[in-house]
Amino acid sequence: MEDKIAQLKEMIADSDNIVFFGGAGVSTESGIPDFRSVDGLYNQKWKYPPETILSRSFFERDPAEYYRFHREKLVIDGVKPNRAHLRLAQLEQEGKLKAVITQNIDGLHQAAGSKNVLELHGSILRAYCSRCRKPYPAEIINKGSGVPRCSCGGVIRPDIVLYEEPLDNDIVRSAISYIRNADILIIGGTSLNVYPAAGLINYYRGKKLVLINLSETPYDSYADLIIHEKIGEVFSRV
């Protein structure tokens, strides 16, 4: 571990073109469960698996049950950025990190001070009407009960990308450009199982692919530096 930390520290010191690509594991140390860890949402008892509840067809079929899950599992009061979010924000301020590309929907990178955050899956901190697209503050979902409705009668939905929905083209294009041009690509806290997001890392052309994840991923053999430790712990030391 010590020499891997030293190696990562040196790589970071030598670069001003780092891009970070992350997932739910970046926020577990803030108290938000991921999907696939033992205490993640896949291993908790719900009538349907998370990817069913978080799908477009389920949302349209049973918005009340969707919102029960959303309020209980996605909205967690008082969460704060952890050492990974904070160090990444600092690296951006120092002019070393060009972008954070995240699959997370929790807004914690921005809360930590990161400015250039590409949210591949949107954010639970925004909402809009699924019929007229009028924007709403997230409180209308988070603090209310039942299915929130717009003045036009449409169902208000969170501004997240549900399963079965496409990613935003502009965000994907921008993410590809950052990844393709990155000197160092640091991937962290993601099982790299959710597509198309995970496929974006195939655009990386460099030779400094760093992977920080507690468990193994399908991309481990491609990494130039692999650290199977807690990401907040790692970033507190580089």
Q: Which residues bind ligand CNA (CB under 6 A)?
A: 23-25, 27-29, 32, 34-37, 40, 103-106, 121, 189-191, 193-194, 212-215, 230-232
Which CB sits closer to ligand CNA, 132 or 196?
196
Q: How far is the CB of 233 from ligand CNA (least distance, A)?
A: 8
Q: How far is the CB of 70 from ligand CNA (least distance, A)?
A: 12
d(CA 59, CA 229): 36
**Residue 143 DSSP one-character state:** T
In this structure, the strands spanning 225-227 and 209-212 are parallel
Residue reference for tokens 């990844």? 179
User: Does 196 sit behind a cis peptide bond, omega within 30 degrees of 0 on the bond before it?
Assistant: yes
Q: How far is the CB of 110 from ligand CNA (least distance, A)?
A: 12
Q: How far is the CB of 170 from ligand CNA (least distance, A)?
A: 19
Residue from 70, 109, 121, 228 carrying the catalytic annotation: 121
Q: How far is the CB of 212 from ligand CNA (least distance, A)?
A: 6
d(CA 185, CA 203): 10
Distance from the first to the final alpha carbon of the chain:
12
User: How many other CB atoms sit within 10 Å of the CB of residue 2?
Assistant: 7
Alpha helices in 71-158 (DSSP H): 83-93, 108-112, 139-142
Which CB sits closer to ligand CNA, 145 or 236?
236
Annotation marks residue 228 as catalytic: no
Exposed/middle/buried for residue 192 (C-beta within 10 Å: 0-12, 13-18, 19+): buried
In this structure, the strands spanning 122-129 and 135-137 are antiparallel
Which CB sits closer to ligand CNA, 114 or 213?
213
User: How many other CB atoms sit within 10 Å of the CB of residue 144?
Assistant: 13
Residue reference for tokens 């597509």? 195
Which CB sits closer to ligand CNA, 92 or 119?
119
**Residues labelled as active-site residues:** 121
